[in-house]
C-alpha cells in the first residue's frame, strides 16, 4: 500500500473513530436498554456547543471536552428520570415521537442561544498542525482522534464486557424482575447507564467537532449515521459498533476520494449489502448469536 493508500486509510479510521465515540452511547441506550433514542445526536451537539463556548473563551481544550461530557451526562440523567422513564413500557412509537420532539426543542434552543451559523471549537495549536509520520505530513488532529478513540474503546470493552457492572446491566435488560430479586437496583442502573451513554455522546461531539461541524441541524443531520453504526454493528453489541464504525468510516472516505458525487449512495449501498449479508449485525451480541 502506497503513501496515498495509507493516507486514505488513516482518514477513514479517524472518521470511523468519531462515529464510534458518538454511536457507542447509542449502542448502550438503544441496544442494551431497548430505548429508541433518536435524540442521541442532540446530546452530542450540546456537548460540542459547550466545548466550543468554553474554548472560545480561553478554557483548556481537554477541560472543555470533559465539561462537555459532564453537561451532556447531567442533561441525560435529568431527562432519563423525567422524560424517558415513563416511556420505557409504552412502545417504540411513543419513544420515537418524544425523542424527535426533543431534537426539535434542542435545535431551537441552540439556534436561539448560539445563532444559526456553524460554531467552532478551538483546538490547541499543536493539534491544528501536520505531524511527520514517516511517509508524509499528516494532521495531528486526526491522529489524536485515532488515539483517543482507541483508548476509550479499550476502556469501554473492559467495563461493559469484562466487569460486574456489565454483567449486571445485561441481566437487568434481559430479565429485570429476576435482577431485582437478586438485589440489583435496576432503576439506578438504567439511570447511570443512560447518563454514561449521553456523556459519551457529548464527549464525541466535542472531540469530533473538527470533522462533524457544529450547527443547529447537527442532531438531525447525523442521526441516521449514528443509527446505521448501531444497526450494522449489531444492536447492543459494543464490538459490533466499533467494527461497523471503522468499516463505514473507511467506505465513506473511499467514496469521497474516488467517487465524490456518488459517495452518499456508496455508503448506503454498502449498508444495504452488509445488512443483507448479516441481518443481525456484523458482530451480534452473544444473546443473538
Q: For residue 285, what pLDDT band results from cuts at 50, 70 and 90? A: low
> Which domain range does residue 237 map to?
3-288
Radius of gyration of the chain (CA): 19
Check whether 288 has a pLDDT greater than 70: no
pLDDT at 211: 92
Specify the CATH number for the domain of residue 257. 1.10.3470
Q: For the residues 27-46, what does the mean pLDDT come to?
A: 82
Contact between 30 and 189 under an 8 Å Cβ cutoff? The reply is: no
Surface-to-core class of residue 154, CB atoms within 10 Å of its CB (0-12 exposed, 13-18 middle, 19+ buried): exposed
Q: Which residue has the higher pLDDT, 1 or 242?
A: 242
Q: For the residues 39-43, what does the mean pLDDT come to?
A: 92
Opening angle at CA 167, ends 161 and 168, nearest 5? 140
pLDDT at 286: 60
Q: For the residues 121-141, what does the mean pLDDT come to?
A: 89
Beta bridge partner(s), residue 132: 137
Check whether 38 has a pLDDT greater than 90: no
Task: Round the average pLDDT of the chain to a whole number and report it.
Answer: 87
C-alpha–C-alpha distance, residues 185 and 179, integer Å: 8
pLDDT at 202: 94
C-alpha–C-alpha distance, residues 111 and 114, integer Å: 6
Q: Which residue has the higher pLDDT, 143 or 261?
A: 143
Per-residue model confidence as pLDDT tens digits over 140-193: 999 999 999 999 889 888 887 778 887 887 787 777 788 888 888 888 888 888
Check whether 210 has a pLDDT greater than 50: yes
Check whether 28 has a pLDDT greater than 80: no
Domain count, the chain: 1
Tell me the residue length of the chain: 289
C-alpha cell at 79: 431527562
Q: For the residues 90-95, what does the mean pLDDT come to?
A: 82
Beta bridge partner(s), residue 138: 131
> Helices 218-233 & 238-258, crossing angle to 10 degrees?
120
pTM of this structure: 0.90
Check whether 207 has a pLDDT greater than 90: yes
Q: For the residues 112-136, what does the mean pLDDT come to?
A: 90
Contact between 42 and 109 under an 8 Å Cβ cutoff? The reply is: no
Q: For residue 289, what pLDDT band results from cuts at 50, 70 and 90? A: very low
Amino acid at each position: 500500500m502506497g503513501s496515498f493508500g495509507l493516507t486514505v486509510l488513516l482518514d477513514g479510521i479517524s472518521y470511523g473513530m468519531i462515529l464510534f465515540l458518538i454511536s457507542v452511547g447509542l449502542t448502550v441506550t438503544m441496544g442494551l436498554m431497548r430505548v429508541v433514542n433518536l435524540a442521541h445526536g442532540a446530546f452530542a451537539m450540546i456537548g460540542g456547543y459547550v466545548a466550543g463556548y468554553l474554548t472560545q473563551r480561553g478554557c483548556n481544550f481537554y477541560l472543555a471536552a470533559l465539561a462537555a461530557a459532564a453537561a451532556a451526562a447531567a442533561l441525560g440523567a435529568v431527562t432519563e428520570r423525567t422524560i424517558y422513564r415513563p416511556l420505557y413500557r409504552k412502545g417504540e412509537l411513543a419513544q420515537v415521537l418524544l425523542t424527535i420532539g426533543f431534537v426539535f426543542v434542542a435545535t431551537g434552543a441552540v439556534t436561539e442561544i448560539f445563532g444559526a451559523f456553524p460554531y467552532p471549537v478551538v483546538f490547541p495549536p499543536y493539534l491544528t498542525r501536520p505531524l511527520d509520520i514517516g511517509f508524509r505530513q499528516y494532521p495531528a488532529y486526526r491522529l489524536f482522534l485515532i488515539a483517543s478513540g482507541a483508548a476509550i474503546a479499550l476502556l469501554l470493552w473492559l467495563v461493559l464486557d469484562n466487569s460486574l457492572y456489565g454483567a449486571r446491566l445485561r441481566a437487568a435488560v434481559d430479565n429485570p424482575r429476576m435482577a431485582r430479586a437478586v438485589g440489583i437496583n435496576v432503576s439506578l442502573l438504567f439511570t447511570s447507564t443512560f447518563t454514561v451513554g449521553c456523556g459519551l455522546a457529548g464527549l464525541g461531539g466535542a472531540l469530533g467537532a473538527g470533522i462533524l461541524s457544529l450547527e443547529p441541524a447537527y442532531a438531525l443531520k447525523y442521526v441516521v449515521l449514528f443509527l446505521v453504526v448501531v444497526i450494522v454493528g449489531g444492536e447492543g453489541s459494543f464490538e459490533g459498533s466499533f467494527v461497523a464504525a471503522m468499516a463505514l468510516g473507511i467506505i465513506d472516505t473511499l467514496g469521497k476520494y474516488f467517487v465524490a458525487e456518488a459517495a452518499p449512495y456508496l455508503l448506503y449501498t454498502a449498508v444495504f449489502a452488509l445488512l443483507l449479508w448479516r441481518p443481525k449485525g456484523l458482530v451480534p451480541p452473544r444473546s443473538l448469536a
